[in-house]
Amino acid sequence: MSGPIRVLVVDDSALMRKLIPQILLQDPGIEVVGTAMDGLIGLRKIEELRPQVVTLDLEMPRMDGIEMLRQIMGRHRVPVIVVSAHTKEGASLTLKALSLGAFDFVTKPEEAASGRMAQIAFELALKIKVAAASGAPKMIITQPASRRKHSRPYSTQPHWPSRIVAIGVSTGGPNALQYLLSQLPEDFPGCLLIVQHMPEGFTEMFAQRLDECSAIEVKEAQSGDLLVGGRALVCPANRHMKVRRMEHGNVAILVDQPRVNGHRPSVDVLFNSVAQEFGSKAIGVLMTGMGDDGAIGLKSIQAAGGFTIAQSPDSCIVDSMPRSAIDRGFVSKVVSLAGIATVLQAKCAPDRSSTDGGAETAGATALAEGPSRRRMS
């Protein structure tokens, strides 16, 4: 790409229209070609200035960021990075913007006026560069409708999973995960553990949105949550998630250890833990995202006898996370986003050949056994 990346800043705050260009000015690879105070002006300036990336505030007068984003996706197909308020309402609007096709987001510091905007300078510049390199949005995944969950008969015996499925995802992940989980049936026999790179204040609401569009149960993980079939646990922001085999059932645990690959949560931390505890009963899935977090962990799952999946690069918003594992030979199968659910259902199907019956198979029983066995056959 020749010349600096042309960026349009859209924000109703005069302070932010001053600060964002100032912090981006420090990067010679980026040029702020204009600013706008609302969506109406912003759309006119897209026509006039032809930016390669737009940074977008969501709460604005006259035409808000959500409506402007809809029009950008329909008419201009320019990558959009949301600059989000770090509030509950801001989180809700940001997740909606991602579902409409926004490339990614950064969160405003609570005290932007004191110079703390410099804290997001590197993150914003990096995401602008990746967005510009990715070009027009490849695909906008229609948000699945809410799904009514059927109440299961009460049982004192937990439904132990046939497999533990660990998923790592970053940029493009909210839409990709909504699509994937919406394709899984209510009786899906595996347990899913999800690390999505996301800042604090977003993961609880994100898990709730996933739960609304999924037949399986989805919740933000808490230490001690049982790993049971038909459940997905989303790691909360700023914690690492691991797993532990216990005498009365296997559980997720959250830890405050240092960042790995620059991330907390880190996909590598989850994958390495799942490989160590569950061996050949583990499945690792590396999906859309920037960087290489998860590649080494996927190698651990592969070395332990587990099955490893990478989302096909052509179906990713950003393909560097899965590609980093594919290029190193750590992937058993490369699968498009549309096909991942089918592969997971096939791999998690109980092995009925070894038992007479029922949903509790030899594999599922093995997952429920105590910590004396560190590997599974």
Q: Hey, which residues are catalytic here?
A: 170, 197, 293
Q: Is 303 in contact with 276 (CB distance < 8 Å)?
A: no
Phi, psi of 305 (to 5 degrees): 95, 5
Q: Is 377 in contact with 280 (CB distance < 8 Å)?
A: yes
Angle in degrees, CA 79, 132, 1, rounded to 5:
150
Contacts of 189 (CB under 8 A, 6+ apart): 159, 161, 162, 163, 229, 230, 348, 349, 350, 359, 364
Structure token pair of residue 185: 């049936």
Phi, psi of 257 (to 5 degrees): -75, 165
* Integer Cα distance of 195 and 266 in angstroms: 7
Contacts of 200 (CB under 8 A, 6+ apart): 236, 237, 238
* Integer Cα distance of 274 and 297 in angstroms: 9
Number of Cβ within 10 Å of residue 353's Cβ equals 7
H or E element: which one contains 20? helix 14-24
Contacts of 336 (CB under 8 A, 6+ apart): 311, 312, 314, 315
Contacts of 37 (CB under 8 A, 6+ apart): 10, 11, 12, 14, 17, 60
Structure token pair of residue 67: 């409506």
What type of residue sits at position 338? A
* Integer Cα distance of 312 and 297 in angstroms: 18
H or E element: which one contains 180? helix 173-182
